[in-house]
Structures are given as C-alpha cells and as structure tokens.
Amino acid sequence: MTNIEIECCYCKKLFMKSIGMYNLCIKRNQTNHYCSPRCKHDHAKLKSGRGSLFICKECGNTFTKNDTIQIFCGKRCAAIFNSRNKKYGTRRSKIEVWLETKLSNKYINHKILFNSKEKIKSELDIYFPNINLAFEINGIHHYKSIFGERKFISIQNNDIKKKEACLKHNIDLHIIDISKLNYFKENKVIEYFDKICNIIDSKLAGASNDLA
C-alpha cells in the first residue's frame, strides 16, 4: 500500500502513513495525525491544560499555554519552523526546487521558465519557450484523493484544461509522474532529472536539424 509523508501535529516530526488510513481519517473528520501513541497522549494532556510551562519547538524557550493549542511560543517561531521543515503539501515541492537549480545550470544558454503562467494562463512547472517544450511534475495528489474528493476532481479538471491549452498553443507537454516518490533524496530523484534531460536533448537536436 502506498504511503505518504505527513507531519505529527504534536511533535512536528515527519512520519509515513498509508493513504488508506489518511483518507479514512478525513472521512471521520479526524484532522490530527500522530507519529506515536505517546504523542497522541501528550497532545491530549496539552489540550486539557494539565501543566503550565512548555518548551517552544523552535527557539527552546519556555512559555505559558493560553487557551489555544500551542507548540511554539509565538507566531514568528511557528512560521520559521514550518517554513524550514514542511515537506508535504507545499506549493513547490523540494524536487521542483532541485530541478530548477539543476536544469538552470545544465542549460545555461537556454531560456527556461519555472512555474510560469505566461503562455497558457495556467502554471507550467518547467517551460522552454524557444522550443515549445513543457514539463509538469505530478505528485501523488494528481492520481489519488489525498486532500478529499472535491479537491481531487478540481486537480484532475485543471490537468485536463492544461493539456488542452498546451495543444492549442502547440506546446509539447510531458507529464513526469513522481507519485511513487515518498520523500526527497537526491539519489532517488536523479532518474527524473535524467528523463527530463533526455527529452530536452532530443527536442534540441530536432530543432537543430530543422535549422540545418
């Protein structure tokens, strides 16, 4: 069964959970996910108000709990921690950021647009305007209902519209399926980079032959 990487709502550590269990929690309106029974117990204790001093997960300072569930002493520490550690559900995945760096260094003499809406009024993850070549980096949420059925249908409809827009503008769109990638690690994502480069090199070679 496919797993996804999510964040424990108490200790903020990342852990693996099966998609089946994740979707079951959504159906039961259970929004809290725990990496261990201990975290679930400690979170329940925190919500009950037992005890008064807590240690901020970001700066390490102690603070007094107010009426809300707190893991951080303030909004600033919460924002810093979440920005640095969040890996799942962000607007740009780690592999997208990594690919931007790698492709920009490899194809330094070619114009590349990343996450641009310039051509089709809908965001393309990677777009080479001079050779009308584009790539979409599709994670598991493009293929399974991770964030609920309504969101899944919206994503699928958007994917269809994006393909139609690319056809209309004569853009050669390639979908890179990374749904089996549970977490980012360079030796795991290099195969996707190689696949993209092979397509780009073939396209560039074809363009050169057309000019010859």
The Cα 132–Cα 118 span in angstroms is: 13
Residues 120, 16 share a domain = no
The residue ranking higher by pLDDT, 109 or 52, is 109
Listed residues 34, 68, 85: the one ending a domain:
85
What pLDDT score does 87 carry? Answer: 45
Of 86, 98, 131, the residue nearest 112 (C-alpha) = 131
pLDDT tens figures, 2-43: 777 788 877 778 888 887 787 777 777 777 888 888 888 777
Residues 108 and 31 in one domain: no
Among 85, 106, 133, residue at a domain's last position: 85
Q: What is the pLDDT of residue 68?
A: 45
Q: Name the average pLDDT for the chain.
A: 81
CATH code at position 186: 3.40.960
Confidence of residue 89 (pLDDT cuts 50, 70, 90): very low
Strand partners, 139: none
What total of structural domains would you count in the chain?
A: 2
What is the model's pLDDT at position 83? 53
Same domain, 69 and 135: no
> What is the reported pLDDT for 84?
53
Structure confidence at residue 211 (pLDDT): 58
Note down the domain range covering 46: 3-85
The reply to whether 123 and 186 lie within a common domain is: yes
Do 99 and 179 share a domain, yes or no?
yes
Q: What is the pTM of this model?
A: 0.58
Check whether residue 103 and residue 140 sit in a common domain.
Answer: yes
